[in-house]
Amino acid sequence: MREADIYAEQVLALNAYLDTQLTDVPDELLHERPGPSLNTVGWNYWHLLRIWDLDVNWIARGQSPMEDAWHRGGFGEKTGYDPDGKGRNGSGLGVGYTDAEVDELAMPMAVLQEYQALLLDETLAYLNSADEAELRRSVPSPIRPDTMTSPAERMQHLAAHSYNHAGELRYAKGMLGLHDATYPGPSK
Amino acid sequence: MSELAVLRRMIDSTYSLLAATVEGATEQQFSERPGPGLNPAGFLYFHVLRHWDRDVNILCRGQALESDAWHRGSFGDELDYHPLGLGLRGLGTGIGYTDDEVDAVPTNLEILNRYQQMLYAETIDYMDELDDSRINEEIENPLAPVNPFTISARLQHLVTHTSYHTGDIAYAMGAFGWHDATRP
């Protein structure tokens, strides 16, 4: 199996997992905090998509932050939310946000799902053309310029980071009273 | 990079993130429920590790339920807790537990951490014996004969299952003021 195909399989599985976890979250609970300073389901979802954009478009494809899927897809206009300049290094990825900045997110599920679909399409297209040399290519990290990384490392990070935040949003769902439909429930 | 090498790197990262997440957790953060019916971080840690044991030792290596790392490492004796017979199909992995059964799981961070270290060491030793051809052979599932699997699929499951439950653990501890030291 080509290395790129391994990552494509992982991204497809991740995409399906996110669909399953988010399908039962109504818009009225998407941005509700389960407790003080606990991040919302919607914030976790948005943040993992922004990091997905970082890994694939900023780093692997070498696009500028203003050319990533969020910007090309017009999601700032669709949601009325402009992340540019916010958070760590003004990267607008959700990292280093204050509670007040987290609370600014109020975008509907349908737009986030559209963002996810665009990222999936672009990631699969990239991986379809990525050979071993491309995946091994050494590139500087745009958020840690003194650190070198590679597209392969970013694909691995994409999966691990996304599942980690999927776990957080799952727990937030539980605190909001939404039961995990994939869980079998008590055996007795 | 081979498929096996990719999985090895991802298991390394998964192991490190899980260990870093629980390191330094307070008793309250690790053992208390954030609310009724919400699993405590310690239970989630136990569950992640029991599933890791199931993926690698029961399914991939074909060991008996009584011969997995939990039993060979005598963790049940140390904790005076014996999970076989509990939960889904009596596998004692935490799936299908009632609230009472969740509450009965000992949340001893130091002992569970040693269980994690043993599982990781055994997994790496086992992966050193494998190659890409071997990990894609179909294997009969002793726990569910209608669902054959490949070693590749179980190792991939180990990564994804551990990753999202590590997020669960972080969130549960966050309800008690835990802050992720790896985040700015």
Q: Write out pLDDT tens, residues B58-105.
A: 999 999 999 999 999 999 999 999 999 999 999 999 999 999 999 999
A150 touches chain B (CB under 8 A): no
The candidate with the shortest Cα–Cα distance to B48, out of B119, B147, B110, is B119
Residue located via tokens 């391994």: A6
Note whether B21 and B170 are within 8 A (CB).
yes
Closest listed residue to residue B113, CA positions, set B29, B28, B42: B42
- Give the count of beta carbons closer than 10 Å to the beta carbon of residue A2: 14
| Residue B25, pLDDT above cutoff 80 | yes
pLDDT at B116 > cutoff 60 = yes
Contact A167 B168 (CB under 8 A): yes
Structural domain boundaries enclosing A106: 3-175
Going by the DSSP 8-state scheme, the letter that residue A149 receives in this structure is E
d(CA A103, CA A99): 6
Asked whether the ipTM of the predicted complex exceeds the cut of 0.90, the reply is yes
* In a domain? residue A40: yes
Residues of B in contact with A152 (CB under 8 A): 1, 6
CATH of B3-174 given 3.40.50.970, 1.10.3720.10, 3.30.1330.60, 1.20.120.450: 1.20.120.450
C-beta separation of B58 from B143 below 8 A: yes
3-state secondary structure of A169: helix
Q: What is the pTM of this model?
A: 0.94
> Which CATH number belongs to the domain containing residue A169 in this structure?
1.20.120.450
DSSP code, position A148: E
Q: Evaluate whether residue A60 is within a structural domain.
A: yes
The answer as to whether A110 is a domain residue is: yes
- With an 8 Å Cβ cutoff, are A1 and B163 in contact? no
Q: What is the pLDDT along chain A (188 residues), one digit of tens a residue?
A: 899 999 999 999 999 999 999 999 999 999 999 999 999 999 999 999 999 999 999 999 999 999 999 999 999 999 999 999 999 889 999 999 999 999 999 999 999 999 999 999 999 999 999 999 999 999 988 777 789 999 999 999 999 999 999 999 999 999 999 977 666 666 64
Put simply, the answer to whether A163 touches B38 (Cβ < 8 Å) is no
CB contact under 8 A, B163 and A186: no
Asked if residue A81 lies in contact with residue A105, where contact means CB atoms within 8 angstroms, the answer is yes
Helix (H) or strand (E) holding A44, with range, is helix A41-53
Total domain count for chain A?
A: 1
Q: How far apart are CA B152 and CA B116, in angstroms?
A: 20
Distance from CA of A66 to the nearest CA of B (A): 23
Q: Is A113 part of any domain?
A: yes
In a domain, A43, yes or no: yes
